[in-house]
Amino acid sequence: MLKKLIFILFFVPFGLFAQFNDFQTWTSVNIGYSLNKKNDFNLEQSFRTMQNVNNWSTVFTELSYSYKINKHFSVGGAYRFSFKNRLDYYLTAHRISFNIKAKKKISDFYLNYRFLLQAEYLGINQRYDWVIPKSYNRHQFKLKYKLSKKIRPYIAYELYLAIDETFLQLGKYRLTGGTTYNFNKKNSINIFYRYQRVNFLETFNTYILGISYKYNL
């Protein structure tokens, strides 16, 4: 284990692993419902592409729930069912996740932190190892600015830490810049550009243009 860590820390940064680049688009439609001031539900349908937008990569449906503890903290969970394109075959996946969120308002700035624990089962009854989930704990830090009542630009950084030791190679991280635009209380849109880096045997650099629409019931 110690030899692995030494190798990762000293050799990976110098680019010994092969690197691959890809441009993708991520699109989604969300329907939100507030049961009351503390309980919120969201249903998301998402479609993602890969190979420089020449092929689809993932289609998923996710149902999530959030409970507001107070103005600074909330907890929640989600279930996601997805189809994943492996080019010569397809996989189904089931993901469950739990999260804790914290936020702090300073003037017109909003500081947000999210801790998320997820486990995803790939290819149930399709692969011999489907019973072993692909698990991560994720840490997201976001800074949002209230430019106006309708426009709120933001930047975010998210780090993936694998629970499974086979994903010790630095895991994954994301850098995101975007903005949300609120048309009114019921309709909003989120446009973002994201850089994602994955290190596992090879290095994968992904550049993502995303757009998400949300309707609140």
- Please give the structure tokens belonging to residue 133: 């989930």
Q: What average pLDDT does the segment 58-65 reach?
A: 98
Q: What average pLDDT does the segment 63-81 reach?
A: 97
Total number of domains in the chain = 1
Q: Angle CA(187)–CA(190)–CA(193) in degrees, nearest 5?
A: 170
CA dist list (Å): 90 to 58, 83, 105, 167: 10, 7, 44, 22
CATH number of residue 181's parent domain? 2.40.160.40
Q: Give the span between the Cα atoms of 19 and 202, in whole angstroms.
A: 6
* Number of Cα atoms under 13 Å in the Cβ half of residue 106: 6
Residue pair 191/211 in contact (Cβ under 8 Å)? The answer is: yes
Residue pair 173/16 in contact (Cβ under 8 Å)? The answer is: no
According to the model, what pLDDT value does residue 8 have?
Answer: 43
What tens digit of pLDDT does each residue of 180-207 get? 999 999 999 999 999 999 876 668 899 9
Q: Band the pLDDT of 14: cuts 50, 70, 90.
A: very low
User: What average pLDDT is seen over the chain?
Assistant: 88
In DSSP terms, which residues pair with 46 in a beta bridge?
Answer: 28, 60
According to the model, what pLDDT value does residue 19 have?
Answer: 81
Residue pair 158/140 in contact (Cβ under 8 Å)? The answer is: yes
Q: What average pLDDT does the segment 127-143 reach?
A: 84
DSSP assigned state of 8: H
Strand 73-85, strand 39-50: pairing: unpaired
Q: Give the span between the Cα atoms of 65 and 80, in whole angstroms.
A: 12
In DSSP terms, which residues pair with 60 in a beta bridge?
Answer: 46, 82
Q: What average pLDDT does the segment 91-96 reach?
A: 95
Q: What is the reported pTM?
A: 0.85
Beta strands, E only, 70-108: 73-85, 90-106
Q: What average pLDDT does the segment 97-101 reach?
A: 98
Q: Give the span between the Cα atoms of 190 and 5, in whole angstroms.
A: 39
Range of the domain at 63: 2-216
Q: Band the pLDDT of 134: cuts 50, 70, 90.
A: confident
Please state which of the ranges 31-40, 102-111, 121-130, 200-209 shows the lowest mean pLDDT.
121-130
Q: Give the span between the Cα atoms of 207 and 193, in whole angstroms.
A: 7
Q: Band the pLDDT of 106: cuts 50, 70, 90.
A: very high
Q: Band the pLDDT of 170: cuts 50, 70, 90.
A: low
Question: For residue 166, is pLDDT > 80?
Answer: no
